[in-house]
Structure 1
């Protein structure tokens, strides 16, 4: 039979209820906001699983959308680039660490068997079952949750900064490829003109109105243009590979560059607006959240100077009393 210390158990129950009420509200300072943000990003992205390592295959609609310009490439990169996916997973893992930081330690369940039973009035004590719950100093959990949530916010800002870096990388690769193709098109037109001029000079040589040196000079220009065009063909293949790598797709995807660049212009915003935008860059703000996380971690460590509390309950298995008729026997 089980002999329960009722008074102690009642006290433990009241203490546990109070502790749950106290520690259950130890949500991190930024926890609600960061959980809302990560749910929004998760709903916007449906990352495919690529196990081949060769990149993501696109649907016909996605491939056709690339002809609309650089914005379509950026949107596709944010969907398929593995660096973006890795940054998101790091952010998601940091969010999960918030609840762990504010969680009470695991309770301890113990069992002890008396090799030699302890004789009591109500019978021999044979075994004991114990349950204990530790409660750290309240600041340990609240500050720990604040540190974890601030760190999650910092990693979120790094995710946003990574998105901006990917967008910049895609745009750079796109316009580099566009420039190569546009320059090659101009060289090809120039080559056609030079070849036409070569035929004209060749005809004039036969009539004596032009010299052979003139034809040789024109043919040399044509040869140089052909060599430049061949070099641009190789540069185009390299630029195409860089663009495909930036958007994280397979190597056989056709990457059109039909959109011409807009006219260059200076920023229309004031200097103060530009400075504020630079200061609000995700990589800059992530450092502020890292500082907040470090301060909260310091407060959590400082809480170790204060006592922690442990409450528990013991159940003692007691056999029947040797003497018959003993009250509360067993």
Structure 2
């Protein structure tokens, strides 16, 4: 029966841990969704993408139609009569496929701009998560300080009792009180830091700075880490953006080749001719209509050759930038993974040290029951216990912050 009771306690403890993690994930997911909806930086990138997409309609045009009107101040005489005025119209048309190439080029730039939205969303999710875990760590440290202050108050009561029976001095009481003052100071400083971090968090969600942020009461490091695959890193939007920029240069070169082709123009001239007086013959006063075809040939095409060379160099530059960024992301991922492992090791060590500190505390309490207690030892043990508790909280925060970085890189 005792064994079954222990099993039930273990199951309940694990269940409580999993429920805590699930509640944390669910609450954080809601906050992240709110940030993605309201954050002005995301809205900025979305508007930039819409503006870049709208440029497709801008380039889907042909050159302006040219109209001209001329009046003959000195009317030239022809066989059929004097020319009085001239009206002309002309339309140049780009080479076949030029407009389509322009649309493809602008669309490729819009695709690259879309990756900015994806990157900004990932960064925002990471920032919200990291700020949330900073708030959790701050709150947990305040609670630890509150518990330790209460513990020192208990020790102070023991010390006062010992002073009355001559087993301790007033100095021991003063030391305990000074230690309480130090802890209260730390707690007050943490409270101010919490308010500052809360303002940062609310700004990420684009809401009022005075909105209270509720965080989970406790976080535990999970028993196993999720797998990390460096192969997923190549699919990161920061790298995909370079691919799309490379493709946009390809479209730019195709457009450059089209624009280096001739342009064809079609036009029509109309000349008004007055009738010759006192004469009767065929075509007297007949107006002149003259259809025209023109060709614009870029004979001096150094501009287009230079653009081709620039496109080639820009593609090489993008390839180098992508490799540089890939190396940086790989370094960041490896560092985050190692620091997460270190956080797990530190947490295990602090847990062991904390248990030993509590055992030492129990020994001191039993010593008091036998009539002897060294309050210097009490302060030393209490200081160690506080140190281990703070380090334990910091290890949990570090674990989740590094997990956030890993998620940013490979999820």
The verdict on a shared fold, with TM-score over 0.5 as the criterion, is yes
Mapped contact 1:68–1:259 kept (Cα < 8 A): no
| Mapped pair 1:291 → 2:246 | yes
Residues 73-102 of structure 1, C-alpha deviation per residue, up to 9 Å, x if partnerless? Answer: 211111221111111111111111123234
Mapped contact 2:38–2:205 kept (Cα < 8 A): yes
1:225 alignment partner, SS class: helix
How far off its partner does 1:199 sit?
2.6
Residues 148-200 of structure 1, C-alpha deviation per residue, up to 9 Å, x if partnerless? Answer: 11111111011111111111111111111111111111211211221232133
**How many Å separate the matches in 2 of 1:265 and 1:317?**
94
**How many Å separate the matches in 1 of 2:209 and 2:238?**
31
Counterpart position of 2:90: 132
Residues 80 and 325 of structure 1, relative CA distance in 2, 3 Å threshold: farther
1:152 alignment partner, SS class: helix
Higher mean alpha-carbon deviation, 312-321 vs 220-229, is at 312-321
Counterpart position of 1:59: none
**How many Å separate the matches in 1 of 2:234 and 2:95?**
38
Say what the alpha-carbon RMSD is for the aligned residues.
2.6
| Mapped pair 1:322 → 2:277 | yes
2:211 alignment partner, SS class: coil
**How many Å separate the matches in 2 of 1:101 and 1:127?**
36
Q: Aligned to 2:237, which of 282, 296, 306?
A: 282
Counterpart position of 2:321: none
Counterpart position of 1:220: 178
Residues 124 and 78 of structure 1, relative CA distance in 2, 3 Å threshold: farther
How far off its partner does 1:324 sit?
6.1
How far off its partner does 1:239 sit?
0.5
Mapped contact 2:140–2:218 kept (Cα < 8 A): no
Q: Aligned to 2:157, which of 193, 199, 210?
A: 199
The alignment of Structure 1 onto Structure 2 pairs a total of residues equal to: 262
How far off its partner does 1:291 sit?
0.4
Q: Greater RCO between the two (CA within 8 Å, min separation 6)? A: 1
2:210 alignment partner, SS class: coil
| Mapped pair 1:167 → 2:125 | yes
Counterpart position of 1:97: 55
**How many Å separate the matches in 2 of 1:259 and 1:230?**
19
| Structure 1 gap ranges (5+) | 1-65
**How many Å separate the matches in 2 of 1:229 and 1:119?**
104
Counterpart position of 1:180: 138
Counterpart position of 2:211: 253
**How many Å separate the matches in 2 of 1:231 and 1:308?**
73
How far off its partner does 1:116 sit?
2.5
Structure 1 runs of 4+ off > 6 angstroms? none
| Mapped pair 1:80 → 2:69 | no
Counterpart position of 2:114: 156
How far off its partner does 1:311 sit?
1.4
Mapped contact 2:112–2:245 kept (Cα < 8 A): yes
How far off its partner does 1:130 sit?
2.5
Residues 87-142 of structure 1, C-alpha deviation per residue, up to 9 Å, x if partnerless? Answer: 11111111111232343223223333332234345544333332222212234333
1:313 alignment partner, SS class: strand
Counterpart position of 1:244: 202
Residues 215 and 124 of structure 1, relative CA distance in 2, 3 Å threshold: same
Residues 259 and 221 of structure 1, relative CA distance in 2, 3 Å threshold: closer
**How many Å separate the matches in 2 of 1:72 and 1:317?**
76
Residues 211 and 290 of structure 1, relative CA distance in 2, 3 Å threshold: same
Residues 319 and 195 of structure 1, relative CA distance in 2, 3 Å threshold: farther
